[in-house]
């Protein structure tokens, strides 16, 4: 069906296709890292035995005419090094050279590292750096990856490596020529250790550890967060063994992490060329290396870290002004009002014009509300139905994706962002909104670029489909930055490199406990792919948010980088009841009080390429249990967050990493490296602070623009009964380490000197006795 993910792994199990198994180095220049790889021709031959059929590999001869095609082709193979911890394998599976183009996924030219020392024997070529080692075995061909200590991390799999009763298990490192269209695909197979865990692949909502899963990497609209399909697939993952991999390509892919065969990971690629980067190190080192290659997230504007208030949808000036008035009258801090699908004359029909019937003077409305601390965000999408007033213009000017016959490949006109004329036309429409005072655009959809379409880039949708979100994200981000001076989007779809255009939210979550838990897994997975900033629809999107679920979801939503309430109305707390309004206010005030911590952590995370919402093992890679936790997270470096995921609960089991931890709400002390059953405080969430941390706090304000950044309070969390005297003048003391933000106009300072002025100190003491 249209819009469903493509699973390219199926081509490798078809008995009419021709297979080429990576067999031996035919030639190799160790000084340049370039050579040729010989591929052994095979076929899958059906075999029966004991009333079972299978299709193992058997060597095959050439069966083409004229007889000028190589039976066992020798094709280019290249190994190079980008850093002392990063290597690159480039392998071609068919003759001919496809012109190399500038990559949309990479942040710039790939550097060259010359620190690797080569030693060569008759059987192997070995390269060693201070961080890693790679060994190439000549025959049978194999690439082995080691860490600095000499531990084998992973290795390619040759057909001779099988210990199974069938030589196709696991699938060896091979290529396939598809009989129906003579397209070539590559399957890169690597060993998996028995206890190895895999993480990443984009905003994946399935179990956090991808071991045992087969992951389709093809952007789709999954219509929720309860399936294996993704708005934001990313062909990058990291392993608990100490390595990560990035497939630098845009075709559909399928990553199988031991689903078909437990001892092997097979990266099925819908392309004839494999461009694979391998990173070695701890999780932070791997992610830093990956984001150095593909780009780090710039820091969004301060106001974006405040509350975004929305529903589907505010549809008039009167309604918009009313919600702003109610937010202020109920003393609920908020920075952004978002208008979704209803600001046009016809709902969902994006034409970049406010409805004149329902918005008397939108520019004045935006200006008036801006004086009260509100920023404006508007929804739009890149699909135009035949009844949209812009449909004819888009088609007539050649701005849409076409099919092979020169017509439209779907019912709608879908903007072709590979066409410079389309980009210019689109930017002009958005620019007119920014001129009115709008400061952010919701870049909704983007997952349905036709796979069978023809694009202005000269490529088909097979190569452009996954790049569509990246082009879309960049276009919206760049015009926003140009017109407002602060780059930001509110995007749903993404691909590798989209982290350079923050921020993204988790799509249409179900209003259930499972939807809440899956949203967190998706955010954690996306964060492990270099996306520093992430949000989701607090309370869920699809149906009316049940009050009890909404209460539990609120503090989780506030303790992420960006916080938005959105979905089927009502989302506004005063439309529930007074008690819920009070709970809503308390959760929002929590974030605004912590805004100096939030913004400083945002700046530090963006600089390093780290996520703000991060897994436990990201901070504690040597703690084995931390690799198992998927329903808790770190918010920055010092806050451990455990949302209440179950209906009717006010406490939960929490795994705490090693060390001493202090409950933010109750000051209770907990020893780490073990599980505890912990009751939430007045705000329904468990929030623990690392002992010795210094958390900056601000006085509560109704928007980030109202925060007094010159009068912050630095709160020391520590387990003893001393006082703070003298601590300010002892920066070498662990308790005195602090990082906080100070904002003056558009200037943001991240302070890490505890002796800096304009702050007050306080000490939160936890009992010496364990809880």
List residues with catalytic annotation: 444, 447, 508
Radius of gyration (Cα) for the chain, nearest Å? 27
CB-side exposure of 179: number of CA atoms within 13 Å? Answer: 13
C-alpha of 565 from chain center: 21
Among 335, 300, 338, CA closest to 533:
300
For residues 272-286, b (16+ Cβ closer than 10 Å) or e, as one string?
bbbbbbbbbbebebb
Residue 464 and residue 249 in contact, taking contact as beta carbons nearer than 8 Å: no
Direct distance between the N- and C-terminal alpha carbons of the chain, in angstroms, rounded to an integer:
56
φ, ψ (nearest 5 deg) of residue 488: -165, 145
Residue 462 and residue 399 in contact, taking contact as beta carbons nearer than 8 Å: no
In the 3-class helix/strand/coil scheme, how is 197-263 assigned residue by residue?
Answer: CEEEEECCCCCCCCCCCEEEECCCCCCCCCCCCCCCEEEEEEECCCEEEEECCCCCEEEEECCCCCC
Provide the sign of the torsion angle of the four alpha carbons 297, 303, 309, 313, taken in this order. negative
Tokens of 235: 């062909």
C-alpha of 295 from chain center: 13
Q: Rounded to an integer, what distance in angstroms lies between the CA atom of residue 107 and that of residue 85?
A: 18
Q: Rounded to an integer, what distance in angstroms lies between the CA atom of residue 491 and that of residue 494?
A: 8
Among 378, 380, 366, 370, CA closest to 303:
370
Q: Rounded to an integer, what distance in angstroms lies between the CA atom of residue 194 and that of residue 261?
A: 11
């Amino acid at each position: 069906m249209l819009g469903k993910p493509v699973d390219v792994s199926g081509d490798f199990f078809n008995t009419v296709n021709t297979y080429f198994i990576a067999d031996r180095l035919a030639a190799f220049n160790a000084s340049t890292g370039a050579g040729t790889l010989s591929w052994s021709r095979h076929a899958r031959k059906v075999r029966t035995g004991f009333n079972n059929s299978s299709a193992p590999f058997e060597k095959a001869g050439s069966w083409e005419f004229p007889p000028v095609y190589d039976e066992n082709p020798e094709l280019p193979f290249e190994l190079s090094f980008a850093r002392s911890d990063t290597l690159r394998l480039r392998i071609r599976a068919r003759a001919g050279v496809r012109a190399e183009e500038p990559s949309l996924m990479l942040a710039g030219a790939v550097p060259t590292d010359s620190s690797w020392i080569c030693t060569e024997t008759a059987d192997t070529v070995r390269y060693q750096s201070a961080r890693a080692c790679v060994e190439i075995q000549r025959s049978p061909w194999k690439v082995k990856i080691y860490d600095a200590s000499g531990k084998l991390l992973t290795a390619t799999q040759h057909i001779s490596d099988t210990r199974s009763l069938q030589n196709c298990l696991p699938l060896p490192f091979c290529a396939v020529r598809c009989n129906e269209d003579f397209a070539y695909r590559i399957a890169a197979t690597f060993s998996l250790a028995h206890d190895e865990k895999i993480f990443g692949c984009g905003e994946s909502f399935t179990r956090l550890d991808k071991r045992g899963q087969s992951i389709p990497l093809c952007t789709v609209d999954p219509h929720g967060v309860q399936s294996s399909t993704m708005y934001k697939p990313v062909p990058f993952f990291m392993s608990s063994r100490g390595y990560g991999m990035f497939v630098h390509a845009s075709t559909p892919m399928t990553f199988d992490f031991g689903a078909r065969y437990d001892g092997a990971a097979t990266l099925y690629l819908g392309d004839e060329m494999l461009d694979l980067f391998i990173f070695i190190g701890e999780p932070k080192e791997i992610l830093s290396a990956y984001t150095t290659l593909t780009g780090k997230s710039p820091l969004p504007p301060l106001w974006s870290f405040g509350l975004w208030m929305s529903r589907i949808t505010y549809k008039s000036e009167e309604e918009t002004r009313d919600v702003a008035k109610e937010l202020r009258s109920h003393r609920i801090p908020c920075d952004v009002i978002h208008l979704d699908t209803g600001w046009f004359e016809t709902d969902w029909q994006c034409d970049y014009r406010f409805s004149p019937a329902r918005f008397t003077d939108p520019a004045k409305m935006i200006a008036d509300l801006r004086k009260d601390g509100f920023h404006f965000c508007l929804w739009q999408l890149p699909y135009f139905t035949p009844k949209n007033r812009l449909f004819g213009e888009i088609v007539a000017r050649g701005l849409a994706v076409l099919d092979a016959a020169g017509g439209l490949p779907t019912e709608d006109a879908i903007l072709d962002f590979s066409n410079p004329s389309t980009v210019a036309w689109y930017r002009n429409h958005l620019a007119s909104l920014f001129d009115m005072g709008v400061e952010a655009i919701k870049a909704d959809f983007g997952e349905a670029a036709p796979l069978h379409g023809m694009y202005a880039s000269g490529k088909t949708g097979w190569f452009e489909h996954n790049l569509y979100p990246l082009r879309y994200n960049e276009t919206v981000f760049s015009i926003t930055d140009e017109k407002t001076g602060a780059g930001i989007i509110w995007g749903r779809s993404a691909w590798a490199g989209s982290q350079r255009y923050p921020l993204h939210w988790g799509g249409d979550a179900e209003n259930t406990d499972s939807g809440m838990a899956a949203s967190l897994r998706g955010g954690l997975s996306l964060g492990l792919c270099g996306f520093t900033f992430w949000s989701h629809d607090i309370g869920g999107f699809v149906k009316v948010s049940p009050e009890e679920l909404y209460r539990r979801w609120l503090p989780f939503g506030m303790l992420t980088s960006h916080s938005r309430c959105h979905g089927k109305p009502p989302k506004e707390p005063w439309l529930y009841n007074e008690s819920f309004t009070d709970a809503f206010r308390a959760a929002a005030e929590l974030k605004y009080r912590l805004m100096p911590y939030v913004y400083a952590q945002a700046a530090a995370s963006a600089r390093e390429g780290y996520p703000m919402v991060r897994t436990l093992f990201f901070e504690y890679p040597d703690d084995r249990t931390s690799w198992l936790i998927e329903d808790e997270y770190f918010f920055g470096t010092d806050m451990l967050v455990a949302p209440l995921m179950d209906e009717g609960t006010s406490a939960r089991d929490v795994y705490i990493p090693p060390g001493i931890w202090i409950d933010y709400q109750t000051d209770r002390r907990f020893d780490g490296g073990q599980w505890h059953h912990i009751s939430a405080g007045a705000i329904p969430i468990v929030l623990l602070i690392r002992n010795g941390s210094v958390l900056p706090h601000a006085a509560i304000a109704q928007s980030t623009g109202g925060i007094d950044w010159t009068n912050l309070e630095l709160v020391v969390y520590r387990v003893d009964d001393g006082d703070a005297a003298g601590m300010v003048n002892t920066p070498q003391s662990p308790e005195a380490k602090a990082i906080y933000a100070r904002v003056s106009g558009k200037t943001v300072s991240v302070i890490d000197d505890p002796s800096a002025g304009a702050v007050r100190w306080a000490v939160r003491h936890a009992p010496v006795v364990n809880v």
